Structures are given as structure tokens and as C-alpha cells.
Chain A
């Protein structure tokens, strides 16, 4: 047996190890550079002008979730029942209606239910840009000082809530 004939099988073994490790990770977890930083500032109206103006200051003082959604977004319908349930349990969720018209956003909430304590109209997506939104839905967890402590890309699932978000909010289930 010559050594060089062993090279392919050695490379394969190394690859298999990495693929095996890769299997145990979730590729959708993308760290946000904003984690540990204060939430970016914005000045935007509420949905349908209710309230006429909201800023990042309104998010300070208690831990909460900021959920970017849109009436045109499919994934948002997937997570919506869970958000409604969390809202009933007393979790504060602030909605960011991302690249949407007020009329469409309000109609969507009327149809599917409104889990949000307040809804901010980010009609042009400018806040989304500052917050580093890849695509809706995305959910940010803010602590009482207004610092981003976690970001979920894609729908919030039961597992994400239980394993990632609930511990950060200090919620016991």
C-alpha cells in the first residue's frame, strides 16, 4: 500500500467530520452586528397616524420584542398565532409594519388579529435598513435599556421562543 493512495480516504474522513458538525448547527442563525448595541434611532408615525410619532425612546424602560412584519409577507402569517398567544400572556410586542401601506397593514391586522402593543409604520423601510433587516419577518429582543440582545431571522417558532427568547426576557413557563 502506497501512502499517496491513502490521501483521498483521508480527505473524505476530514470532510465527513465537518459535515457531521455542520448537521448539528442551524445555518439560519446569522449573528447580527447590532447585538449588544443600542437599538438604532428612528422617528416614524404609528400605523394610521396613531400615535403621530414614535421614536426609539418609546422602546426603553422594559424588555420587549420588536417584530418587523408586512401584510404582503407569508412567513408573518406563520408566526402570527404564536405572537397572538404571547401577547395574551403579557409579552410586550411592538410591530414594525415594513414597506407596507397603512391601509394594507391595518386590514391585515384586522383580519388576522393584532398582537402588538403599538404598531410603527415603516412605510419606506428606512428603519428596517438601519436595523439591518434581511427580510420580514424578523424579531428583535430589546432589554430595558433599549439594547438589542437577540435577533431572530424568519418566523418565531415555539422552539425559538422557549430556548432563546423566553430566557432573555426572564419568562418562566
Chain B
């Protein structure tokens, strides 16, 4: 009964979503206030129905209802409860349902927080969000029904993919989808602005925090995904330039450009049509990401199950939504005129540069990701991998790092050279000193490490200039400034981590008998023992490895190799000892020979944590900036104070 209830809720939600599109548009055309107001009401109703459907699917997972095909394919009675709940998004159908749940969640949040928005804007925003909902509901119901029954019911489930049985994976997809889907709000606001032709600073104050919030979740989602791949895939990498990763990274790059161009549009009334275009592109890339992951058009290490019929559906949806939006942009965009000029050597000019580098970087990633598909259209096979991205990407990151340092020192309208030079003296001095950092920490240097260390210290030092000045002057630090500071610090910390981990990582494959040792990076790894173990739904081998340095004990690591019963799949659980300076990473290979020897893979990865710490700082920064006082005031409809210095 419960699965049918869920299915029924989805069908009802589709009907409501259609009303959510039609009524407000009719209301807007015919100036009918009641029809306009039906949009937000329908959004709330749709949200409740989708939540009910999602709850029904979760219920089926929790109660091991193997008469539901999706549950039988992705769960098992021995699967721990936490993973039965997260298994809902462990495969295609549930992922799309989660996408939809996030969409209705964002829609409800916008409608509830936006009750004081002009009725036509709110109505049109709910209509656009409703249209996206219609697309995804049709997608679910036509090609990917998660409630399809299995007759006769399976006696036992096929279990969740062991790769996904990890806490990092449990929260990574919801975070990522929160971000992906969150860009639909900026998209909807942009469509409303194009339709009404109104794009004023009040519109900005509404769009900005929502966009920042979406970006914040996307940042966290990508960071968690990287952390998960590092721990679970067992080969010590943290970013693979895999199509699925690129699919989340492209919206992030454009989203980052968007939150910066929104700042220019809010403060100076410039770049209006550019901002609207970025909002459309950020959402378009989110949809493209969904297409790439779900259609099977690209082969990736993530290797999700895929189906061409689904690919065709998403492609058609992409064509209608994005094609429609860009068409509307081509028609109405020229009407959004700037309210001033953009002077050289001003904050808005720096932010324009930021936008150019970020968008070109996103275009490069897009080209690298899609070129195999394009080449194939000409019957030519090629693959684009880390060498391409590794060469191209620094070309955009290095100037971004060099420029971000000026973020708070150059003021709007007209920055002053002498003032900037005076304030940047100490950061510049520190950056030069930082050239020695690689020798200090790792006793050798590479160009990448030296450049990275210098740029990182430059960014971190320059970012701290403004908060230090404010603290000295006993002036408060508004959340917007604090958030920007944290996010830019995160970028610096990230750069430092990337420079070190890519320059100084060492790895070694060893074959050890029990009691034997191998050394790597000054550390001695001893294999004490390997013992059989059994978990709730797997059996495995658990190694015990002692790490010593100069005789002193550093860590006891327990890498595992698990064989999951139901799918017969072998899964490596690496063991990592970490601090801010370095990661020591051990993954257990195979038993070899009959002397009780095991193969092990050892890694020394300096400053690995900095990469994710950078992501976490950006996440926290985003949260602070999105909850700045002026947005909370705007929500309460007080006149917002315009602070000339806030970013």
C-alpha cells in the first residue's frame, strides 16, 4: 500500500505542478491577483506531496519491502539502518526523487520567505520552479518510477553498492543536489526579471542570498565527494577530472562567477544582463551535469547505471528549459541596461576579471569533458584526461589567486593605487618569504610548490588585511565581510594544499610478510598481522599496520579489504593517519604466495587536509555571507542600509 501511496502522491504532485505553472502565468498576463497567488500555494502543496512520496520510498527501504523493484535492487536485510535510509538515493530513481525533493524544498523556502515579494515576481518565480518540477516529475513517472513493483517479490535484496556504504557518500549527494537545485532559484528569479523587465537592487537583495546559499551547499558537496573518493576508491587520489566530477565543478565555477557578478549588480547596477546570463548558465550546467551522469553518454569511474531513453528525456528537457531561457534572454536581455560605467582599477573591474577567468575556466572544463562526445560524432575516438586539465586549469587559477588578494583593498568606483600599495606591503613581503616554505617543510622545492606557497600566503595575508584593520579600528565586521574573508582564506588554504600534495606526494607498492617493514617518506610501516573479520553484510581481512618515525610510534592503522556477500564485490577501506602537515595512507591489497605475504600500497601526502579545509572554509564563509544582516532585514521588509564597504 505504502509504495502505491507514494506513486499516487507523485501523480498528484504532477497535476499540482502543472497548475503551479499555468495559473500564475495566466494571472500575470490578465492581471488576476488570485491566479497569481495560486502559484505559491501550489508550490507548497506540491512540496508536501513530493515529501510524502519521498517518505513512502524511505519507509519501503526501512521496512525491507523487497516487493518494490528499486528497494530489492539497492538494499538488503542485513544492511545497517543508516544505509537503508541513505540507500534511497543510492541509484538512479531515488536520486531523481531526491533532486525533486530538493527542488520542492527550495520552492517552499522561497515562497515562505518571499511572502513580501511583489506578487508578480513571486508568482512567476513559482511558475518557473513549477515548470522544472513538471519536467522532473514526468521524468520520474515515465522513465524511472521508483515505486515499480517486483512480482513476485524478491526474498532478499541485491544490496546497496558497497562503494556507497560510507558516511561521506551518505551526505555527499544531498549536499551536491542542494547546490545543483539551489541554482534553480536564481534561474527562476532571472526568468521573472526578464519577463517583467525589472531588475533593481531589491531584486538583487532577494536573489543574492539564495544564490550564495546554493553555492555554499555545492561547495560542501564537492568537498565531501572528493573526501569520499579519497577514502573509498583506495588509490589515494582526491580529484580525477572525471566527467561526473566535472559535472559538479562546472556549475560551481559559473556559480562562483555569479555570486561575484551579483555583488557588482547589487552595489553598482552594472553587468545586469551578464548576471542574468550567468544565472541561466549555472542552472543549465546543473541540468547538463544531471544529463551527463544519468544518460551514460560518457564512461566514468563512477559508472552509474544508465539508459538512453532517460538521456533523450533529459536532453529534451535541457533543450526546452535552457533553450527557452536563452531565447528569452536574447529577446529581453538587451533591455536590462547598466546604470553607470565601469571604471578601470575599481572593485567592479576586478570582479569583471574574476568573472572572465572563472567563466573561461568553466568553458575549458566543459570543452575537456564534452570533446570525447563531439569527437565521436565525427567517428573519431579520443579521451581527455588529467594532462589536459592539469595544464589548462592553472592558467586560470594563478591569475585568480593573484587578483583575489585585492578584493577588500580596492574600493568600488575608483580604487587608489597608493592606498592599495601601502596596504599590500606586508602581504607581499610574506609572500616572498613563503618561497622558502617548500624547503622548510619538505626539504626540497619544485616550481609548482614554490608558486603555490607564494600565491597561497599572498592570498591569506592580503585577505586578513581588512579584518585586522576593522578590529584595530574597533569597527564591527558584518557577516558579509566575515564570510568573504573566510571564503577567500579557504581559497588560499586550498591552493597551499594542492601545491604541496601535487608536488611532494610519494607512494609505494610493497609486498610484506607479517612482521616485515617498509619505509616511505621517513616513516616506517610495519605489517603486524592480517585477520579475518566479519561485518553485518560483509566478510573481510583487516590488516594491522604500525607506523613509526625514528623509532617513535606515530599511528596504528587498520586498512581493510571487504567482500560484500550479496554482490560478491570487493571493497577497499583504506586507513589514514592525518594531521595538517601530512596524511599517511595505507590500503590493503591481496594476499600473495603461500608465505602469508600481503601487498600493500603506502602513500605519504603532505598537506592533504588543507585541500578539504579550504572547501570547509568556503562553505562556512558562504553561510555567513548568505545570512548577512541586510538580507534578514530585507526579509522583514525594513529599508536595508547600504553599507558602501560591504561586498
Given the interface pairs A1-B330, A27-B372, the reply to whether A19 lies near B277 with Cβ below 8 Å is no
Q: Are A16 and B319 closer than 8 Å at their CB atoms? A: yes
Q: Could you tell me the distance between the alpha carbons of A18 and B327 in the complex, rounded to whole angstroms? A: 20
Chain B residues, Cβ within 8 Å of A17: 377
The answer for the CA separation of A23 and B280 in the assembled complex, in Å, is 24
B160, chain A: closest CB distance, angstroms = 16
Partner of A19, one of B315, B333, B569: B315
Interface secondary structure of B, over-half rule: helix
| Contact pattern, A 39-65, Cβ under 8 Å of B = 1, otherwise 0 | 000000000000000000000000000
Smallest Cβ distance from B337 to chain A, in angstroms?
12
Check if B381 sits within 8 Å of A30, measured CB to CB: yes
| A8 contact from B312, B319, B330, B334, Cβ within 8 A | B330
Inter-subunit contact A6/B330 (CB<8 Å)? yes
| Alpha-carbon distance A56/B323, docked complex (angstroms) | 56
| Contacts of B16-63 to chain A: CB distance below 8 A | none
The yes or no answer to A9 lying at the interface (CB within 8 A) is yes
Binds A, one of B91-99, B289-297, B338-346, B602-610: B289-297
Q: How many A-B residue pairs have CB under 8 A?
A: 73
Bound Cα distance from A135 to B334, whole angstroms: 54
Q: Does B6 contact A (CB under 8 A)?
A: no
B330/A27 in contact, CB under 8 A = no
Contact of A13 among B299, B315, B323, B329 (CB under 8 A): B323
User: Contacts of B296 on A, CB cut-off 8 Å?
Assistant: 27
Query: Is there a chain B Cβ closer than 8 Å to A170's Cβ?
Result: no
Is A22 located at the chain interface by the 8 A CB criterion?
yes
Whole-angstrom CA separation of A20 from B273 in the bound complex: 29
Q: Number of A interface residues at 8 Å Cβ cutoff, please give it.
A: 25
Q: A16-B319, A23-B297 are in contact. Are A8 and B281 (CB under 8 A)?
A: yes
**Contact of B311 with A by CB under 8 A:** yes
Instruction: Decide: B327 and A21 in contact? CB cutoff 8 A.
Output: no
Give the nearest-CB partner of A30 in chain B: B381
Candidates B334, B376, B568; contact of A1 at CB < 8 Å = B334
Q: Is the CB of A23 within 8 A of B330?
A: no
State which of A1, A8, A18 has its C-beta within 8 Å of the C-beta of B326: A8
Residues of B within 8 A of A90 (CB): none
Interface size on B, residues (CB 8 A): 35
List chain B residues, Cβ under 8 A from A6: 330
Say yes or no: A28 contacts B326, CB within 8 Å. Answer: no
Residues on the A chain within 8 Å of B373, using CB? 18-19, 21-22
The answer to the question of B240 belonging to the interface, with a C-beta cut-off of 8 Å to chain A, is: no
Check if A107 is an interface residue, CB within 8 A of chain B.
no
A15 to B291, CA, bound (A): 13
Q: Is the CB of A31 within 8 A of B319?
A: no
Report the bound CA distance from A77 to B284 in whole Å.
40
Q: Which chain B residue shows the least CB distance to A22?
A: B373
Contact B326 A9 (CB under 8 A): yes
A12 touches B331 (CB 8 A): no
Q: Which of B273, B308, B318, B374 has its CB near the most chain A CB atoms (within 10 A)? A: B374
Q: Which of A12, A18, A30 contacts B377 (CB 8 A)?
A: A18
In the bound assembly, the distance between CA atoms of A20 and B372 in angstroms comes to 13
A9 with B334: CB separation less than 8 A: no
Interchain residue pairs A-B with the least CB separation, the first 10? A22-B373, A9-B326, A21-B377, A5-B330, A27-B299, A22-B297, A23-B311, A18-B374, A6-B330, A8-B326
A8-B277, A28-B299 given; 9 more Cβ-contact pairs under 8 Å = A5-B333, A5-B334, A8-B329, A12-B323, A21-B373, A23-B308, A27-B372, A27-B376, A74-B569
Residues of B within 8 A of A (CB): 273, 277, 280-281, 284, 291, 295-299, 308, 311-312, 315, 318-319, 322-323, 326-327, 329-331, 333-334, 370, 372-374, 376-377, 381, 568-569
- Could you write out 28 A-B pairs with CB less than 8 Å apart? A1-B331, A5-B330, A5-B331, A5-B333, A6-B330, A8-B280, A8-B281, A12-B284, A12-B323, A12-B326, A16-B318, A16-B319, A16-B323, A18-B377, A19-B291, A19-B297, A19-B373, A21-B373, A21-B376, A22-B374, A22-B376, A22-B377, A23-B297, A23-B308, A23-B311, A25-B376, A25-B377, A28-B299
